[in-house]
Structure 1
């Protein structure tokens, strides 16, 4: 809990210092920061040649964050979901990412460097679009 509180305070400070919205800081810096343990785990699992652990961790993390974390948080304090919190661009990028994942899952046996570069490109584009959208507000 203490580290979570520190992350929230740091995100707020960064938001204030850089003049960025808390939503943008959450979508980028906080999201990357909280994903670093998963990245470390996945690299370790791949070194041990355990790709099933990687997919289990990633899909489990997405499902846990989308259901368990949102559910518990909403019980404690309802979350307001509106166009200013989740804009069309966020939904579009979620759909694009899901489409890439489903395409790979249906047509290939592995996610190779080509798809990896596409996914990283989608993420960079997502950050740029979100930054642009928050700067024109």
Structure 2
């Protein structure tokens, strides 16, 4: 019973902490005159991935390595199939050309890199984690450079920032309270979630991989789910889909990179199957999206596929 309580409290802290962290960091960026575009590419994307980072790093430090990898792979599956799928069901998503040309293929590339890392020896070594981090730094710097070069988009973003700043201003003290309090809740929530999940796994004789791929992955993906569904309802397609693909890149390259550098991560052979499934769904649903729109039917199929694969995970 205590494990369930810890898991629920951990998830609540993770989601609330991520929300406060993003809110504070975005307000700080506006105060400093940084455009919302750059904030979205960096602070907000990092903020919504903070629960996954907290859980995976905590799991790696405590030797619960299967949760660290399962959390990332499971979160990416949930992001693509449920977050993007339900967003498309609510409002068909018009695909951004840059996302289709650059970011979605990069998310497939990241999943392939993960497969290459774990397939030969079932371990993500420190040097492989370092390689993931270097690739992440290169991709992030190119995204920022491309955003800065888009002068028209930058001007519109800055105008929007000025309007937002005029409408709601936060005191410097409240900004830093949100940032510090948000980070503290994320770290504490990550520890509670890992403790609760491992306790449940032992109680019911379930593998840490299954818990990581399902319960923990869904819980840490709640910020992405809420953000994308709200964005889809408001017709902000770039935010809805960009949040999914951006978070998936962060999860594999940054989170597993950091976790593996801290301590090498051994994984089960079944993780290879999960990684292959992640690559397959990323490629399969990229095809209809390339037409420029992800409609309600593909979205419903995506959500149904997640339910089917979760049933497979429970039975295997």
Query: Shorter-normalised TM-score: what interval?
Result: 0.7 to 0.9
* Residue of 47, 72, 75 corresponding to 2:233: 47
* Residue of 91, 94, 97 corresponding to 2:281: 97
CA distance in structure 2 between the partners assigned to 1:65 and 1:79 by the alignment = 15
Q: Are 1:17 and 2:200 an aligned pair? A: no
Alignment of 1:46-65 (within 5 A): 46-65=232-251
* Structure 1 consecutive aligned stretches of length 4 or more whose deviation exceeds 6 Å: none
**TM-score calculated relative to the size of structure 2:** 0.39
Gaps of 5+ in 1: none
SS for the counterpart of 2:239 is: helix
Gaps of 5+ in 2: 1-186
Deviations, residues 84-104 of structure 1 (Å, cap 9, x unaligned):
5x142x134213311232112
Higher relative contact order (CA 8 A, sep 6+): 2
Deviations, residues 44-101 of structure 1 (Å, cap 9, x unaligned):
21222211011111101000001000111111111113415x142x134213311232
The equivalent of 1:124 in structure 2 is 307
- 8 Å CA contact 1:93–1:126 kept in 2: the answer is no
Give the number of the structure whose alpha-carbon radius of gyration is greater.
2
The equivalent of 2:194 in structure 1 is 8
SS for the counterpart of 2:266 is: coil
- Counting matched residue pairs gives 130
CA distance in structure 1 between the partners assigned to 2:241 and 2:296 by the alignment = 16
- 8 Å CA contact 1:7–1:30 kept in 2: the answer is yes
CA distance in structure 2 between the partners assigned to 1:30 and 1:58 by the alignment = 17
CA distance in structure 1 between the partners assigned to 2:257 and 2:203 by the alignment = 31
Deviations, residues 6-35 of structure 1 (Å, cap 9, x unaligned):
110111122122221111010001111011
Q: Are 1:74 and 2:257 an aligned pair? A: no
**TM-score calculated relative to the size of structure 1:** 0.86
The equivalent of 2:295 in structure 1 is 112
CA distance in structure 2 between the partners assigned to 1:132 and 1:82 by the alignment = 16
Give RMSD over aligned pairs: 1.5
* Residue of 214, 217, 237 corresponding to 1:31: 217
